[in-house]
Amino acid sequence: MSKCTILRSTAAIALLAGSSAFAQPEGYMSNDDLASRLKQIASNEHASLDSIGESLGGAPLHLLTLSSGDSARPAIMIVAGIDAQYLVSTEIAARIAEELLEKHSDLLDEMTVYIVPRANPDGAARNMGKILSGHTGNARLVDEDRDRMVDEDHADDLNGDGIITMMRRLEPTLDDRPSHLVDPDDPRLNIKPNTDDGQQAVFTIYPEGLDNDGDGLINEDGFGAVDVNMNFMHRWPEHDPHAGRYALSEPEAYALARFVLERDDIVAAVTIGKHDNMINQPDSKKKDITNRSPLEIDAGDADLYKQAGEWFKEASSFASAEKHDSAGSFHAWMYAQRGIPSYAINAWARPEESKGDQGGESVEKQDTTNDETALTPSPVGDISMETLDELREAYTQMTGEEPDESMLNQITPAMVEQFAAQAGIEVRRVKQEEDAPSDVSKADAKKEAKISKKLSEDAKWLKYFEQEGINGFIDWQPIDHPTLGKVEIGGFIPGAKINPPASLLDELATMHTNFVTKVMDMQPEVEVLGPEVKQIAEGLFEVRIVIQNNGELSTTTSFSRTTRSVKPVIVRLSVPVDRIIQGQRVDRIWGVGGNGGRSSHAWVFRTTDINNETITIDDPRFGKQIIKLGTN
Ligand SMILES: [Ca+2]
Ligand SMILES: [Ca+2]
Ligand SMILES: [Ca+2]
Ligand SMILES: [Ca+2]
């Protein structure tokens, strides 16, 4: 009961400190907003708007094409909004289009840019609806628990805040073994017990909801849906109910795959979403189950990804990225089955704290004020009675009732700090009696400082939200649950760690545009040297050409050269086969290495008129080029 009281007071104090109710991702584009913005973008002479298909729910899958000219040229493809929760990726993709048109239109002479800004519009709509549940898929109904009933037990917004968060079951029954306890450093966080520290689990955790179908399980089959980004062929996770019934079963995934398969001009892809292979480099050693395809990338492409990773780090200044399995993802398929360099990036990363600004212990030192001798000790560590009185007052003002005295027996200094921070009260501490500290206690103190410095990821998020004034967490609030008894509802707001405040979007988009332009800038440059035509005898000629790549990167991935998954460049001599003495009438080039890499082609043939003969170079990316061998 007393713990409950403390937590109730946490909630009360949080309210007192002005923590507002949840607002939908403010400043983010709904599907309608996106449609009008894209229309606006497409009013530019170098942009056009189409769709590659429809979502399961019938929403258009927009395609923005940026290009200044009609001649064949290679293309880069940017895909965003495939991961339903990553609304930020769509915001970035639309802005990249705008920035490319405004500031980098010269690059559009060299390359086409295909942008699919929201590959999963139904999922996005669900994450911008009335109830925020952290939806991760499309609009497909999925029977998660495979009992042949679909969506029979979904999450319920029990406290009516419009958000599905978590529940702590405070008094679990004997058959429900406690798994977590309140983090002593921050009562908002749940931790698993560290038995070395003598910690013991107190409560169990559930997603917010009821046992709608009375089978004893809570939320076992909600609106789960298929994750479009798990529905592609490379390492398709067939046993995951969210991967779809078969690869490309979802119209969104099918439309993307068809778009890519119908085109030979795509030479690089950037997918913005939950996956990353730029900050955390992909594995270049392991093979998949066939032992032929690499699990992630081929060893021969490790340098390519390393190089791109450096561009990305430089452009984004991100220090870390999310780690998710890429099984069945669009970006993994693009590389492993299409042979295209496929870069996956996160749109946003929480800024890392600078060294020396980690943990709370530096704050503690600052807060040791000079007049500590005037402060009265309290039962709560070195917290002064004065501070506790202020907190009590704040609580009374808020609730109109006196706080329960038993709270003082349960509360820890860390909790006080937390409450005080929320209520805007300065923590004043009583100076501890200064015995000459022994070496042992000094070492202990050092050790403790080290531990307190190591904030958990969740603690870092809370700190960041507080610093930036972001409403990313619902404070725990007690409620009587019909089957679980006493519970508290609260936790991180779905998507809060994914989608930054809209005020950051422009700046992030500029960073990502810098990465995209770098990728475009560094595309291979292919040049045809020659032809050298030598007449050996009357009607007998020797001809030579060289195709040279002056760019830094190879024209194709090493993996695609092995698997021949990208269409080759075809070199064709006009002379009939029976007159060719040396050389192939048709040559195929599967790739030309970077930094002056060459593909040489030579023939000896007979012809009655060299002026009639040609060499045709048919490049699926750069188009067709016909070289006349005669002089007139
Ligand atoms: Ca079911
Ligand atoms: Ca379901
Ligand atoms: Ca709720
Ligand atoms: Ca149930």
3-state secondary structure 427-490: CCECCCCCCCCCHHHHHHHHHHHHHHHCCCHHHHHHHHHHHHCCCCEEEEEEEEECCCEEEEEE
**For residue 399, what pLDDT is reported?**
61
Could you tell me the maximum CA-CA distance found in the chain, to the nearest angstrom? Answer: 113
- Kindly report, residue by residue over 594-626, the tens digit of the pLDDT: 889 999 999 999 999 999 999 999 998 888 999
pLDDT band at 329 (very low <50, low <70, confident <90, very high): very high
Q: Of 112-116, 135-139, 270-274, 425-429, where does mean pLDDT reach its minimum? A: 425-429
Which residues are CB-contacts of 86 (< 8 A; sequence separation ≥ 6)? 80, 272, 273, 274, 347, 498, 499
* Mean pLDDT, residues 2-26 taken together: 42
- Pick from 536, 104, 432, 511: which is nearest to 270 by CA? 511
Ligand nearest to the CA of 474: 3
- Ligand 4 center from residue 155 Cα (angstroms): 10
**For residue 516, what pLDDT is reported?**
98
- Kindly report, residue by residue over 128-169, the tens digit of the pLDDT: 988 899 999 999 999 988 888 888 999 999 999 999 999 999
- Ligand 1 center from residue 213 Cα (angstroms): 10
* Mean pLDDT, residues 522-551 taken together: 94
Residue of 447 and 207 predicted with greater confidence: 207
* Mean pLDDT, residues 256-262 taken together: 97
pLDDT band at 427 (very low <50, low <70, confident <90, very high): confident
Ligand nearest to the CA of 161: 3
Q: How far apart are CA 448 and CA 430, in angstroms?
A: 19
**For residue 444, what pLDDT is reported?**
57
Q: How far apart are CA 226 and CA 614, in angstroms?
A: 53
Q: How far apart are CA 515 and CA 347, in angstroms?
A: 12
Is the pLDDT reported for residue 38 higher than 90? yes
- Ligand 3 center from residue 131 Cα (angstroms): 8
Ligand nearest to the CA of 133: 3
* Mean pLDDT, residues 117-137 taken together: 94
Is the pLDDT reported for residue 297 higher than 80? yes
- Ligand 3 center from residue 139 Cα (angstroms): 22
- Ligand 3 center from residue 225 Cα (angstroms): 21
Q: Residues 485, 1: contact at Cβ < 8 Å?
A: no
Decide: residue 632, CB within 10 A, 0-12 exposed, 13-18 middle, 19+ buried: exposed
Ligand nearest to the CA of 213: 4
Question: 491: helix, coil or strand?
Answer: strand
Residue of 308 and 456 predicted with greater confidence: 308
DSSP conformational letter for 374: G
Q: How far apart are CA 363 and CA 116, in angstroms?
A: 47
**For residue 299, what pLDDT is reported?**
92
- Ligand 4 center from residue 458 Cα (angstroms): 29
- Kindly report, residue by residue over 361-418, the tens digit of the pLDDT: 433 333 333 444 467 667 677 777 777 777 777 666 666 666 665 555 566 776 667 6
DSSP per-residue letters across 75-109: EEEEE---STT-HHHHHHHHHHHHHHHHH-TTHHH
Ligand nearest to the CA of 222: 2
Q: Long-range pairs for 354-362 at CB < 8 Å and ≥24 separation?
A: 358/453, 358/454, 358/455, 359/449, 359/452, 359/453, 359/454, 359/455, 360/417, 360/452, 361/449, 361/452, 361/453
Q: Of 236-240, 325-329, 564-568, where does mean pLDDT reach its minimum? A: 564-568
Is the pLDDT reported for residue 632 higher than 80? no
Ligand nearest to the CA of 217: 4
- Ligand 1 center from residue 629 Cα (angstroms): 70
Residue of 540 and 294 predicted with greater confidence: 540
Question: In which element (H, E) is residue 116 found?
Answer: strand 112-116
- Ligand 3 center from residue 492 Cα (angstroms): 11
Q: Of 12-16, 37-41, 70-74, 488-492, where does mean pLDDT reach its minimum? A: 12-16
- Kindly report, residue by residue over 459-476, the tens digit of the pLDDT: 999 999 999 999 999 999
Task: State in Å, rounded, how far the first CA of the chain is from the last one.
Answer: 98
Q: Long-range pairs for 538-543 at CB < 8 Å and ≥24 separation?
A: 539/606, 539/607, 539/608, 540/581, 540/604, 540/605, 540/606, 541/604, 541/605, 541/606, 541/607, 541/610, 541/613, 541/629, 542/602, 542/603, 542/604, 543/573, 543/602, 543/603, 543/604, 543/605, 543/615, 543/629
**For residue 402, what pLDDT is reported?**
65
DSSP conformational letter for 424: T
| C-alpha pair distances (Å), 490 with each of 187, 212, 276, 305, 476 | 12, 20, 29, 41, 4
- Kindly report, residue by residue over 482-529, the tens digit of the pLDDT: 999 999 999 999 999 999 999 999 999 999 999 999 999 998 888 999
Residue 513: alpha-carbon gap to chain centroid = 16
Is the pLDDT reported for residue 435 higher than 70? no
Ligand nearest to the CA of 152: 1
Token representation of residue 462? 């809370």
- Ligand 3 center from residue 391 Cα (angstroms): 27
Q: Which amino acid would we find at residue 99? A: E
> CA 343, 348, 353 angle in degrees (round to 5)?
120
- Ligand 2 center from residue 244 Cα (angstroms): 12
* Mean pLDDT, residues 425-438 taken together: 58
Q: How far apart are CA 242 and CA 244, in angstroms?
A: 6
Ligand nearest to the CA of 164: 3
- Ligand 2 center from residue 269 Cα (angstroms): 32
Tell me the residues surrounding ligand 4 (ion) with CB < 5 Å: 153, 211, 213, 215, 217
DSSP conformational letter for 180: B
- Ligand 3 center from residue 550 Cα (angstroms): 58
Q: How far apart are CA 295 and CA 282, in angstroms?
A: 9
Q: Which amino acid would we find at residue 167? A: M
- Ligand 4 center from residue 215 Cα (angstroms): 5
Ligand nearest to the CA of 148: 1
Is the pLDDT reported for residue 576 higher than 70? yes
Which residues are CB-contacts of 227 (< 8 A; sequence separation ≥ 6)? 83, 84, 136, 137, 138, 242, 243, 328
**For residue 328, what pLDDT is reported?**
97
- Ligand 2 center from residue 226 Cα (angstroms): 9
Please tell me the number of Cα atoms within 13 Å of 441 on its side-chain side: 5
Ligand nearest to the CA of 146: 1
* Mean pLDDT, residues 73-85 taken together: 96
The neighbour count for residue 578, using CB atoms within 10 Å, is: 9
Q: Residues 367, 293: contact at Cβ < 8 Å?
A: no
- Ligand 1 center from residue 84 Cα (angstroms): 22
Ligand nearest to the CA of 218: 4
Is the pLDDT reported for residue 428 higher than 80? no
**For residue 534, what pLDDT is reported?**
96
